[in-house]
Amino acid sequence: MLISKKSVLLIAALVLISGTSGASEKITVMNPAIANPMVDRVALTERLESLENKTLYLVDINWGGPDAAYGVFAEMKTWFSENMPSVNVVSKRKSGGYMSDDPALWKEIGEKGDAAVIGISG
């Protein structure tokens, strides 16, 4: 098991402190090991060979305020219109906060979209 340098220093300090009060005393330290197993990984979908004639969703997840991503998304949309005009770029804002789900949007992307960039910027 690997323990961080900070943890080793803390344990050493506790041992030194407890060593001065009596040899029979014990100290309790936290175990940094993960108690539960990690979740199973789910493979990403296969990459598209090309975005030509596809619909790309740019999804703002509402982190950083209402206008955080749209400046970058506007630049991306401009780039696609100039360099890959056959790509239909759709900008959307997820409903609710960045931690909440938006099943209606995910359904729309699944039905109408071919790819999506989901995230933050700003």
Cα gap 48→6, rounded to integer Å: 45
Cα gap 31→7, rounded to integer Å: 10
Cα gap 59→94, rounded to integer Å: 7
Which has the higher per-residue pLDDT, 81 or 67? 81
Cα gap 35→18, rounded to integer Å: 27
The alpha carbon dihedral of 19, 22, 24, 27 has a sign of negative
Q: Of 55, 89, 85, which Cα lies nearest the Cα of 72?
A: 89
Report pLDDT for 49. 93
Which has the higher per-residue pLDDT, 46 or 6? 46
pLDDT digits (tens, 9 = 90+) for 25-51: 777 887 777 777 777 888 888 889 999
- pLDDT of 56 higher than 90: yes
- pLDDT of 65 higher than 80: no
Confidence at 84, pLDDT banded by 50, 70, 90: very high
